A and B are shown apart, each in its own frame.
Chain A
Amino acid sequence: MENKHQVPVTVLTGFLGAGKTTLLNRILTEQHGQKYAVIVNEFGEQGIDNDLVVDADEEVFEMNNGCICCTVRGDLIRILSGLMKRADKLDAIIVETTGLADPAPVAQTFFVDQDVANKTKLDAIVTVADAVHLSSQIEDHHEAEEQIAFGDVILLNKIDLVKDEDIDVVTKRIRKINPFAKIIKTTKCGAPLKEILNLDAFSLKRILEVEPDFLDSDHDHEHDDDITSLSFESNTPLNMEKFQDWFGKLLQTKGQDILRTKGILDFKDQNDRYVFQGVHMLMDASPMGKWPEGKERSSRLVFIGRNLESMNLREGFENCKSA
């Protein structure tokens, strides 16, 4: 996978009015000299200034692969496959989603379609959030919450319109949903583009580099359908067979509620680190070389999802420890 040329695809998501198009136009004007294709939908808020704009409908369909939550964006398969036939090669592709879009089908498209996976790669999901309205949007629209849960980078935008203490509240709220995301506070989406583009956030290598940022959150105000995250760590090596059995069944039965998973695993009698990441039921996993010398081996596992408390995750994880 690593040695062939894959065009990076950045997904811009975020609720209506958060500033997606502002960010998009910044990328397109500041990265001049780069050849971008931009995939938008017809309900876009403002005009986009680029040579190569493709209009798409966000068409989500379910795969017939026995996996109930495996929905993919059919329009992306069609358009990305088409763009790969271009004579002049693209430097990058940007997909702007509508305000109410669930990012999961976009991410799953890159797991499911082989042509798409061969020639393009999901670089990162960038979520633009409106600092003024995010808290209420999360309360009222599950899509707003999902967009935070899937973000690799979250631009907390319009902070000039919010008091400092309110910024802290909304930041904590984001952290509770998503401990991985890099949060960048901006006005008018003014973040350095190098923190938004070419992040390779979906590569397994990157998982080794990103330390999740967990807050001690109180669970008082949680509704059952709130998205939260849970993480587990162990210095006792895991039994590979037990882990595969538990984790496989877990994704199969609870994959709809589990939005994202990431982990680094230390299996007994294995020299290599195992790294994985998943979106709902779909997973990408691979041994990623030996453990660094002098560093203690440990397993770390993070879940982002709904109803995580009901899944007995800690018990399941503890049972995977090798005797």
Chain B
Amino acid sequence: MTADVNQFPALDKTKFEQRGIEFRLGIPVTTAVSVGNSIAVGFGDGSVRIFTSGQSSDAIKAHKGIVLCMSKDGNHILTGGDDGRFLKISLDGVVTEIGNFGTRWVDNVTANNGSLVCSSGKIVYLWSPNNKEPKLFEHNSTVGGIAFDTKGKRLAVSRYDGVTLWKKDYTKKWVSSNLIWKGSHNKVSFSPDGKYLVTSMQENAIRCWRLKDKIDFAMSGYDRKIKSFAFVGETSYLATSGALGMGVAAAICWPFDGEGPMGRQPTCLSYTGNNEVTFVEPFPSENAIFAGLSDGSVFLSEIENKNNTIIIRSFTGSEVSAIAVTDDSSSILIGDMNGNILWTSIWDK
């Protein structure tokens, strides 16, 4: 992989930092999700805070230890923790327990058409709106990630040695099929058009299946494990973390238009310095991504015009662990492992 290097002045506060609000909470930020024009942030002490217009709510005591994962269901957030609890939390801080798995962690949460879904150990649990008891989806090994396609018809569950694909048959019974590739599969996602399925693997690579014929292939060449990836933009690129070059940190973006990424070169959105991209977040409605680095800095880059790169946040010394953009694309929240948070407006006033 090669990349053009964008040079930035170091250590000066960016205009985004100057006009934004910074919080130094000293608690690791583990995850962040936008809900309307608020952003919910999960922390390594089990608490959740809701940020609205640059104001932080009081800490909502959600989990005992760590907020491991977060998603949203309408105007509520869903969280899973190392206390084995699956929670639904309103923006004004009312906590409802959906499930409790004791000493087993809740590793993934999501919602789909009114159903609430989580994974704990080898099982995915799905609560339909009218059922008290969850439907169980069992697997042979611990679940790495869960994802629904954009229509909410298919559920992909990554695990060891591949992905289990669940969908309802004509009798509305859930049936499964398997996509096989040896190794440990972590996060999973459908492409927005539903034609591809991708997983991040333990071995510094993305595995991809073309679902119509189950042809599978790797996107590799990464220096580190890919902790973060996301589909972005109208032409649909897959933006990924995990690259670290000679003096260059790069977010690698694979094209998923036309015939897909097979045999094509990725676009490298790069930033100078010996750091790793640790987090990528799409800029909604733009063909652009925010890339967070292991030193805390964040840059914004347009995929098809990579010279148009702006630095949003400068060095903090701590790995970027969460980025979220409000639903109206007006503001961004960036969090790192030392608990430094920046809330700032994206556009010039």
A residues contacting B by CB (< 8 A) are: 52-55, 57, 59, 61-65, 72, 74-75, 77-79, 82-83, 85-88, 113-115
Q: Please measure, in the bound complex, the distance between the C-alpha atom of A81 and the C-alpha atom of B154, giving whole angstroms.
A: 29
**From B65, B182, B202, B225, contact of A52 by CB (8 A):** B65
Q: Which of B101-109, B266-274, B283-291 contacts A (4 or more CB under 8 A)?
A: B101-109
Complex contacts, A57 vs chain B, CB 8 Å: 121-122, 141-142
Smallest CB separation, A88 vs chain B (Å): 7
Partner-A contacts on B (CB < 8 A): 26-28, 30, 43-45, 65-66, 68, 82, 102-105, 107, 121-122, 141-142, 160-161, 182-184, 201-203, 224-225, 321, 337, 339
B183 touching A62 by the CB < 8 A rule? yes
Some 25 contacts from A to B, beta carbons below 8 A apart, are A52-B65, A54-B82, A54-B105, A55-B102, A55-B103, A57-B121, A64-B182, A64-B203, A65-B203, A74-B141, A74-B142, A74-B160, A74-B184, A74-B202, A78-B107, A79-B105, A82-B66, A82-B82, A85-B28, A85-B44, A85-B66, A87-B26, A87-B27, A87-B339, A113-B202
Contact B30 A85 (CB under 8 A): yes
Selected from B30, B44, B103, the residue in CB contact (under 8 A) with A53 is B103
Q: With a CB–CB cut-off of 8 A, which chain B residues contact A86?
A: 28, 44-45, 65-66
- B161 (CB) vs chain A CBs: closest residue: A61
**CA–CA, A320 and B82, complex, Å:** 52
Q: How long is the Cα–Cα vector from A82 to B31 in the complex, in angstroms? A: 12
Instruction: Apart from A78-B107, A82-B82, A88-B45, list 5 A-B contacts with CB within 8 A.
Output: A55-B102, A62-B183, A64-B203, A74-B202, A86-B44
Whether B44 and A64, one on each chain, are in contact in the complex, defined by CB atoms closer than 8 angstroms, is: no
How far is it, in angstroms, between the C-alpha of A195 and the C-alpha of B202 when the chains are bound? 35
* A55: B residues at CB distance < 8 A: 102-104, 121
Bound form: Cα–Cα A54–B107 in Å: 13
Q: Is the CB of B202 within 8 A of A63?
A: yes
Query: Hey, which chain A residues are within 8 Å of B161, CB to CB?
Result: 61
User: Interface majority SS on A: helix, strand, loop or mixed?
Assistant: mixed
C-alpha gap A162/B201 in the complex (Å): 50
Q: How far is the CB of A69 from chain B (nearest CB, A)?
A: 15
Shortest Cβ distance from B335 into chain A, in angstroms? 12
- Distance between A37 CB and nearest chain B CB, rounded to angstroms: 9
Across-interface contacts of B321 in A (CB, < 8 A): 85
The complex places the Cα of A62 from the Cα of B105 at a distance, in Å, of 23
* Distance (whole angstroms) from the CB of A174 to the closest CB of chain B: 34
CA distance A46 to B10 in the complex (A): 56
Q: A82-B82, A114-B225 are in contact. Are A64 and B337 (CB under 8 A)?
A: no
* A7 CB → nearest B CB, Å: 14
CA distance A261 to B103 in the complex (A): 37
The distance in angstroms between the C-alpha atoms of A65 and B184, with both chains bound, is 12
> Which residue of chain B has its CB nearest to the CB of A40?
B103
- Please determine whether B104 and A114 come into contact, CB atoms closer than 8 angstroms: no
Least CB distance, B179 to chain A, in whole angstroms: 16
In the bound complex, residues from chain B placing their C-beta under 8 Å from that of A113 are 202, 225
- Candidates B43, B142, B202; contact of A87 at CB < 8 Å: B43
Q: Which residue of A lies closest to B46 (CB)?
A: A87
Complex CA gap A115/B226 in Å reads 11
Complex alpha-carbon distance, A162 and B124, angstroms: 49
Query: 4 closest pairs, A vs B, by CB?
Result: A87-B45, A55-B103, A87-B44, A85-B44
Q: Chain A contacts of B107 at CB under 8 A?
A: 78
Residues of A within 8 Å of B68, CB to CB, are 82, 85
B183 & A61 in contact (Cβ 8 Å cutoff): yes
| Cβ distance B222 to chain A, nearest Cβ, rounded Å | 11
| Residue of A whose beta carbon sits closest to that of B47 | A87
A83 CA / B122 CA spacing, docked (Å): 19
User: What is the CB-to-nearest-CB distance from A27 to chain B, in angstroms, rounded to a whole number?
Assistant: 18
Contacts of B141 in A (CB 8 A): 57, 59, 61, 74
Q: How far is the CA of A77 from the CA of B183 in the complex (A)?
A: 13
Residue from A64, A78, A88 within 8 A of B142 (CB atoms): A78
Residues of chain A lying within 8 A (CB to CB) of residue B104: 55
- The residues of A that contact B102 with a CB separation of less than 8 Å are 55
Q: Distance (Å) between the CB of B49 and the closest chain A CB?
A: 13
The complex places the Cα of A53 from the Cα of B105 at a distance, in Å, of 11
A85 CA to B30 CA in the complex, in Å?
7
Looking at A53, A61, A62, the one whose CB has the most chain B CB atoms below 10 A away is: A61
Contact among B103, B184, B337 with A61 in the assembled complex (CB-CB below 8 Å): B184
Residue of A nearest to B81 (CB): A82
**Contact residue among A54, A77, A78, A85 (Cβ-Cβ distance under 8 Å from B103):** A54
Shortest Cβ distance from residue A164 to the other chain B in the assembled complex, whole angstroms: 42
CA distance A74 to B224 in the complex (A): 17
Given contacts A61-B183, A63-B183, A77 and B82 within 8 Å (CB-CB): no
- Minimum CB–CB distance from A93 to chain B (whole Å) comes to 13
Q: Looking across the interface, which residue of chain A has its beta carbon closest to that of B321? A: A85
CA distance A199 to B203 in the complex (A): 30
Closest A residue to B218 using CB positions: A64
A62 to B160, CA, bound (A): 10
> Which residues of chain B are within 8 angstroms of A83 by Cβ–Cβ distance?
66, 82
Q: How far is the CA of A55 from the CA of B192 in the complex (A)?
A: 35
CA distance in complex: A114, B183 (Å):
17
Q: Closest approach, in angstroms, between the C-beta of B250 and any C-beta of chain A?
A: 18
B12 to chain A, nearest CB (A): 28
Nearest-neighbour CB distance to chain A for B341, whole angstroms, equals 14
Shortest C-beta distance, A71 to chain B (Å), equals 11
Q: How many angstroms between the C-alpha atoms of A25 and B290 in the bound complex?
A: 47
A34 → B minimal CB distance (Å): 17
**Contact partners of B160 in chain A: CB under 8 A:** 59, 61, 74
Q: Are A85 and B337 in contact (CB-based, < 8 A)? A: yes
B43 neighbours in A (Cβ, 8 Å)? 87
CA distance A55 to B82 in the complex (A): 10
Could you tell me the distance between the alpha carbons of A98 and B183 in the complex, rounded to whole angstroms? 23
Q: Which residues of B contact A78 (CB under 8 A)?
A: 107, 142
Residues from chain B with a CB closer than 8 A to the CB of A63 are 183, 202-203
